[in-house]
Structure 1
Amino acid sequence: MKSLKDKKILIIYTGGTIGMVSGPNGYIPVPNTVRDILSQQSIMHHKDMPSWDIFEFEVLLDSSNVGVAEWNQMGRCIFDHYRDYDGFVVLHGTDTMAYSASAMSFMLQGLDKPVVFTGSQIPLCEIRSDGLENIFNSICIAAEGVAREVCICFSGKLLRGNRTVKLSSDRFIAFESPNYAHLAEIGINIQYNEGALERPDPPADGLKLVEFRELPIGVIKVFPGIQFSLFEGIMTERLRAIVLETFGAGNIPASDNALLPIIKKAYEHGVIITVCSQCLQGTVSLGTYETSRGLSEVGAVGGADMTTEAAVAKLYYLFSAQYSKEAIKAMMSQNMCGELTE
């Protein structure tokens, strides 16, 4: 078995706070900033450190601007370099990191190496930055090869990527996985939670990349007083899927039963309706309460304890992989890569 110093890690810099500098209109990502700062850190050249290279996106983005095209770019980069490296660290802005990590967990089918997303709340160029520690921990985790899945490493915690949500915009502990155990706690040692890790059998045909297509997928968050009729116009044949963020275990306001006919109409048009909960913890259980029973009766499917981020990414994957609508509806409530508890 290779020692850590014999491992090779590819750092993929997509943009985000970690490599930003102050500009006239606020922080902006600047090319080569991450490479220059890391090259000056003695710890990054320690004799026991894995070797590392940096691949920098030609166009660096604030993560608010990351979309399907950028997910495909990340996936292609990992796929193209998969044989050459033992693990991958993706430097990414925090705002949409949970979406991108979820997307990679579905896009990279047959993954058998660590893909570790990280970033920072304070840029590397500033004092008190949390970026260097996050990068260093992520490289070590990617090199150790214990967590052979898509993860987020942030502020001393390792989380499953497709179970993660962003909790805070101004604290170092920015992410949590409310419905799943931490994959590791990072202190003096990295303590892995062996029972929580995915243990896939190495695929016989290696890694497979399923690039996502641009698709009309929507998210609607239910709130008190919502006028469902405002959304009737988007429930057409053009819409492919929608994630409905409901109260509690899948509950919706009665509102003179206005939503159910709209959902039924959408379902008849072939739209896949997945129900997720606005609660950080717990699961959707359609039919537990009268206010949720009608959703399943008109064709909606419960998303169990999936995050909205994971549900959106999963829909992109299933449609892009060209599953039938019947299969997609069934698979949205089935576990594929650790995204939900069946």
Structure 2
Amino acid sequence: MLPAMKRVLILYTGGTVGMGKAPGQGYRPIPGFLEKLMRSIPMFQAPEVPAWEIRQYEPLLDSSDVGPREWTRIAEDIGAAHDDYDGFLVVHGTDTMAYTASALGFQLEGLDRPVLVTGSQIPLSETRNDAINNLLAALLLIGRFSHRLQEVCVFFDNLLLRGNRTTKIHTEGFSAFASPDFPPLGRVGIDFELDERLLRPRPDPARPLRVVPIDPGVTVGAFRLFPGLRPRFLEALLAPPVQGLVLECFGAGNAPRDPDLLAALRAATDRGVVVVAVPQPLHGRADLELYANGRALLEAGVVSGRDMTVEAALTKLFYLFSRGLEPAAVRRQVQLDLRGELSED
């Protein structure tokens, strides 16, 4: 008896991949265009490709307009259709793809099947494009590994990356995304490769999927330190109703030892604002005990985000506060590895 064909739901949120070119207008999203193109390309109908259907969002979104409300919509759509499909493919613009993938990884508690997020740098409508490979290979990956791949990933340019380890590194090249401090979970070349040693443990089958919506009242942000920063600028950024801040620090977690700047941080953390330090460099971690300037941050109540990306640290704060946790609990949990987003050793 032949195994049943896998089923994949494609959530088409928008982005370059499904755009068409209109005279005098450049590329623009065209409703129904992506599905029409995919149905017309024989490769997407090949027997080895899982059965797929597209749910198109209205209106189609530029990913610059995607935020917490849209993360929750995507997560809830996955939750509602969870039992009917073997996996999900979120088609998304590249600009904020890493934020969405990170957020979904936290929001989908107990996920037991693959959720891949992909898009393209060149639309499927163009003769030369990266969309065909990204879409087709993602569908094939879901079909092959739905029994073992049980987390949210970004798939782009033949690399399968943990979603909450991913960041965008290029605006023009096909290799637009990287996982700076964690190896790819898989690669697509002549063969499909999945490194099972790197995968998250299987969830408890007795616990159903739980979707955590992002509370629209949560107020968190991110800020990149720079030479010449005036403390009043940071003080204003940390003022109520801010609950959390990702602080992108110099080097391995350093900041100026300006007494007024440190006092602004101390006053905020004393009020319960959770300030998480992450490094500005693409590789490495924030070690606040390494240098005197980092230790000054620790004394001001800042906690280390270790090797989390900005995208992961920010969406993690959104998620933790949306669970209704008190600031002290958020401070503790933001430093823990919840979904493979940071290295604890």
Q: Is TM (by shorter chain) over 0.5?
A: yes
Contact 2:49 2:143 in 1 (8 A): no
Q: 2:16 aligns to what?
A: 17
Letter paired with 2:117: F
| Structure 1 residue 206, shift from structure 2 partner | 1.0
| Structure 1 residue 223, shift from structure 2 partner | 1.2
| Structure 1 residue 78, shift from structure 2 partner | 0.4
Contact 2:15 2:61 in 1 (8 A): yes
| Structure 1 residue 265, shift from structure 2 partner | 0.8
Q: 1:168 aligns to what?
A: 170
| Structure 1 residue 237, shift from structure 2 partner | 3.0
Q: Greater CA deviation, 197-206 or 260-269? A: 197-206
C-alpha spacing 1:25/1:240, structure 2 compared with 1 (3 Å): farther
Q: 1:229 aligns to what?
A: 232
Cα distance in 1 between the residues matched to 2:223 and 2:89: 32
Matches within 5 A, 1:33-52: 33-52=33-52
Query: Alignment identity in percent?
Result: 41
Letter paired with 2:197: G
| Structure 1 residue 220, shift from structure 2 partner | 1.0
Structure 1 length-normalised TM: 0.97
Structure 1 unpaired stretches of 5+ = none
Q: 1:279 aligns to what?
A: 281
| Structure 1 residue 2, shift from structure 2 partner | 7.6
| Structure 1 residue 26, shift from structure 2 partner | 3.2
Query: Match for 2:307 among 305, 308, 316?
Result: 305
Q: 2:92 aligns to what?
A: 92
User: 2:140 aligns to what SS in structure 1?
Assistant: helix
Structure 2 length-normalised TM: 0.96
Letter paired with 1:78: I
| Structure 1 residue 177, shift from structure 2 partner | 0.1
Q: Deviations over 1:294-318 (max 9, x none)?
A: 1111111100100000001100110
Cα distance in 1 between the residues matched to 2:137 and 2:204: 25
C-alpha spacing 1:151/1:2, structure 2 compared with 1 (3 Å): farther
Query: Match for 1:238 among 241, 250, 273?
Result: 241
| Aligned-CA RMSD value | 1.4
Q: Deviations over 1:173-201 (max 9, x none)?
A: 00000000100010011111111111223
Matches within 5 A, 1:1-342: 3=3, 6-23=5-22, 24-144=24-144, 145=146, 146-214=148-216, 215-254=218-257, 256-342=258-344
Cα distance in 1 between the residues matched to 2:313 and 2:44: 37
Contact 1:28 1:62 in 2 (8 A): no
| Structure 1 residue 231, shift from structure 2 partner | 2.3
Cα distance in 1 between the residues matched to 2:97 and 2:300: 33
User: 1:281 aligns to what SS in structure 2?
Assistant: coil
Letter paired with 1:336: L
Number of positions where the alignment pairs a residue of Structure 1 with one of Structure 2: 340
C-alpha spacing 1:2/1:229, structure 2 compared with 1 (3 Å): farther
| 4+ runs deviating over 6 angstroms | none
Contact 1:13 1:57 in 2 (8 A): yes
Q: Deviations over 1:59-100 (max 9, x none)?
A: 101101101111111001100100000000000000000000
User: 1:125 aligns to what SS in structure 2?
Assistant: coil
